[in-house]
C-alpha cells in the first residue's frame, strides 16, 4: 500500500517553479501522504467488506469516499499555499497542461481545456464540500 500511496502522491506534487507559493513550514508531501494513506486504507476496507445492499450501491459508497478524499487533499494543500485555492488552481492547470501535452504531443493542446473544465469542476466541488465542513466545525468550536 505504501507504493500505491507514493504513486498517487505524485499527482499532487508542487512543481519547483511554484515552491515559493508554499507557506513557510508547510510540508505538502507529508500532508498529502498522510491523507492518502488514511483514505486508501478506508477505500480498501470498503472494497473488502462491502456487501450488497438495496439502499446503497457500491459505486455510490466508493465514489463518495473518493470525492471526500479529493476534497481532503485539495483543502489541506490549498491551506498551505499563500493564496489558497487560487494558487492550487493555477498549479493544477499548469500541471495538467504539461501532462496532456507530454502525453499527446504539442498538437493535441486542444484537449487541455475540456479536460481541465471537467476535472476542475469536480475538484472545486470536493474542495467546497470540505471547506464547508471545516467552517461548520470552526463555528461549533467558537460557540462552545
pLDDT of residue 97: 87
Which of 1, 5, 22 has the alpha carbon at shortest distance from 83? 22
* Confidence at 142, pLDDT banded by 50, 70, 90: confident
pLDDT at 67 over 90: yes
Q: Where are the domains of the chain?
A: 2-143
Q: What average pLDDT is seen over the chain?
A: 91
* Confidence at 108, pLDDT banded by 50, 70, 90: low
pLDDT of residue 27: 95
Long-range interactions of 1-6: CB distance < 8 A, separation 24+: 1/37, 1/40, 1/41, 1/44, 4/40, 5/33, 5/36, 5/37, 5/40, 6/33
* pTM of the predicted structure, to 2 decimals: 0.88
Amino acid at each position: 500500500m505504501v507504493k500505491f500511496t507514493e504513486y498517487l502522491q505524485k499527482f499532487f506534487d508542487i512543481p519547483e517553479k511554484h515552491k515559493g507559493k508554499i507557506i513557510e513550514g508547510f510540508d505538502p508531501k507529508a500532508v498529502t501522504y498522510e491523507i492518502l494513506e488514511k483514505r486508501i486504507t478506508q477505500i480498501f476496507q470498503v472494497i473488502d467488506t462491502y456487501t450488497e445492499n438495496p439502499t446503497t450501491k457500491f459505486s455510490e459508497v466508493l465514489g463518495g469516499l473518493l470525492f471526500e478524499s479529493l476534497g481532503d487533499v485539495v483543502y489541506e494543500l490549498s491551506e498551505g499555499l499563500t493564496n489558497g485555492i487560487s494558487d492550487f488552481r493555477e498549479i493544477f492547470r499548469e500541471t495538467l497542461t504539461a501532462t496532456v501535452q507530454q502525453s499527446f504531443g504539442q498538437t493535441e493542446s486542444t484537449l487541455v481545456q475540456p479536460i481541465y473544465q471537467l476535472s476542475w469542476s469536480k475538484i472545486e466541488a470536493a474542495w467546497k464540500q470540505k471547506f464547508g465542513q471545516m467552517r461548520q466545525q470552526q463555528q461549533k468550536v467558537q460557540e462552545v
